[in-house]
Structure 1
Amino acid sequence: LTGYSLKGGRSVRIWVGKKRECCTNRTDRTTEDLTKRRRKAWDLGTGLRVDQNQVPSTESSDLAMGDAVSRVRSSEARLLSDVEGGQAGGPPANTWNMEQAGDGRRPVVLLCGWLGASNRSLRRYKLLYSQLGFDCLSKIAPPGSVVAAVTRQPGANTELDQLAIATLQELQDCDCSSFFVHLFSNSGCFLWETIRYLLFKAGPPSIDGVDRRVVDASKLRGVIFDSSPAHYTDLSSLEAALRHVSPEGERLNAARSVTSIDTEKARRRFFHFWSGIANDRRDTPQMFLYSKHDRLASTEHIEALIEQRKSTIGGARIFHHNFRDSEHCCHLLRYPEMYERDLKSFVGFCLQQTHHQSKM
């Protein structure tokens, strides 16, 4: 444990070690005052520049890892400060977004969080999207609803169905000209699967008397898969993900529910889940952000999925980036500048397509 003294007598402690675990429970430090103090304390330089093809050695010393962590955190602090001040590199985000959106209204991004996420842990993503000219809506599926989704398909009037309906109603209330969906891990994908069912699948016009098509599906501009989808053949990955859930009561209840799952039924359900993503015929652009260092979302299966999606809707509409050595749902934390650049490129492409179509 390494401590850094800051002006005013405060201190920040950073875990340093050979292995860095998932960042989902780290505390956000995004206030402008604290960011300025960190800049003074750490003397931020030109920023972290990382070759995406270079994988750091896992045998590096604690001292080297400590230096790497400091540089990553410095880059993170700079990104958050730039987002708050609207000074990120590239063209003014609000200008090109509003021009390409077509009618001056801000687009909306729906953030579907990972298992164990909180609104606070999604804050850095909201800051980044805000800098790009978006309004943000975030939803996190309760652990119990994710466990239930392992064996139950959308439309069964589950807790996840109700969350999806509420989410669509909030999107409708936003009255946006367009919206994007950003999915974290399989928890986010399960929620999106249910929303997708409500938006596109044939079926009853309502669930429990609630209109299931309250949002114009044609407003969907792009889907970002972040550390997802995770391919699984058993329940071990779900059990691993549940270790990051808090509070403890929810974690224990969800873990007990896993023990009663029929494994064969879960396998059949997974096939339906995966094929729904792989065989989707809609040509909405998609971006896949993943890492071969991710122990939950297999690079091999994601890259096979990418190739299938390219053959289905065309390679020009599929974006992807292998971050090589970042942990599950930690790509923004590990490579903030690269992540921001990828996101800008994808969003710009999607909104440009809309702008061109509106002129036809």
Structure 2
Amino acid sequence: MEDDDLDYDITFPSPSPVQEEENDEDDDITLDDFVIEGDRKEPVIILIGWAGCEDRYLAKYSQIYEKRGCITIRYIPPKDIAYFQPHLVRPLARKVLDLISDYNLEENPILFHIFSNNGCLLYSEITDILHSSEGQSYSKYQVKGTVIDSAPGKRRVLQAAKAYMITSGRSGITGYFVFFSVVVALLFGRLYSFVLSLIGKKNAGKQHHVYEAIKDDKSRWPQLFLYSKADQIIFHYDIEEIIEYRQKVLNVPMSSVCWNNSDHVSHLRLNRESYITQCRYFLEQCMKRDTAAENA
């Protein structure tokens, strides 16, 4: 579906529960264990893809939730915007948020599942909107938690250029040309942002502060971080620093899983059973937390 220039996909649950595939060796949680009862609204899972992601890949993640009777919305931010036109991210964030009211889902519990720094950039704008004066337009929204896969990472030009080269699909001499071109563009962008900050331009250089935005995010709903020591794009110790800070300093309910074998945004493929189990358990706990709060 398209909403102006927003290319997204939304899936509503089937009238009857979807049967698990025979080869879906995922977890011990059955549909009977899930927390959609009576008049409770189905959870809405908003999945925000990584740079270079394709919808057919993101759909594998949405199926984790669709098999639990959830509504899913999939969206992949254009990577060129994240790298070179970050001022366009906030309008995209508003459009993603507006999808909830467009489909009359304001009373449904909402969870985010985001990937890499590309997803974190859009997500950080979404949470900034929700916790600013603009958030009054979305005051009925019921966000219950966030899953963060392979992110966030600190500002490193070479790592960012490497990620862009990989997602461009270029290799050999062409790949190196893309790599060095992105390095030059990012360094120039930093210099330009620094000059703007000196003359008092608001939000100058904001594109370089994804890590800080996630670290100091004003939301206090639970978070689940999924990452790996084998990730060559986003380093595990960056993520662990955020987990410790948000848990100990900001008192945010945190959980995490760190694997040793999976590369960037490859954790589902190489650790399928534990990945699916963690996502569904986190969803279940967020729903139980919501029920407990209502009954308190």
CA contact (8 A) 2:83 2:207 kept: no
Unaligned segments of structure 2, at least 5 residues: 1-17, 195-203
TM-score, reference length from structure 2: 0.77
Give deviations 1:260-290, integer Å, cap 9, x for gaps.
3333548964674322222234321001100
CA contact (8 A) 2:94 2:126 kept: yes
Alpha-carbon separation, structure 1, partners of 2:153 and 2:208? 12
Give deviations 1:14-46, integer Å, cap 9, x for gaps.
xxxxxxxxxxxxxxxxxxxxxxxxxxxxxxxxx
1:175 to 95, 104, 125: 104
- Equivalent pairs counted in the alignment come to 260
Name the counterpart of 2:45.
109
CA shift for structure 1 position 98: 0.6
TM-score, reference length from structure 1: 0.64
Alpha-carbon separation, structure 1, partners of 2:137 and 2:25? 36
SS at match of 2:214: helix
Name the counterpart of 2:278.
342
Shift in alpha-carbon separation, 1:350–1:312, aligned structure 2, 3 A: farther
Name the counterpart of 1:56.
none
Shift in alpha-carbon separation, 1:218–1:254, aligned structure 2, 3 A: farther
CA shift for structure 1 position 85: 9.5
1:227 to 150, 167, 170: 150
Amino acid at match of 1:222: G
Name the counterpart of 2:93.
164
SS at match of 1:230: coil
SS at match of 2:221: coil
Shift in alpha-carbon separation, 1:199–1:258, aligned structure 2, 3 A: farther
Amino acid at match of 1:292: K
Amino acid at match of 2:277: R
SS at match of 2:35: helix
CA contact (8 A) 2:120 2:214 kept: no
1:259 maps to 2:184:
yes
- Aligned-pair RMSD on alpha carbons? 3.1
Amino acid at match of 1:286: Q
Alpha-carbon separation, structure 1, partners of 2:190 and 2:209? 15
SS at match of 1:137: strand
Identity %: 23
Aligned pairs for 1:52-201 within 5 A: 82-83=20-21, 89-93=27-31, 96-99=34-37, 103-148=39-84, 152=86, 158-176=87-105, 177-201=108-132
CA contact (8 A) 1:112 1:140 kept: yes
Amino acid at match of 1:259: V
Amino acid at match of 1:118: E
CA shift for structure 1 position 230: 1.5
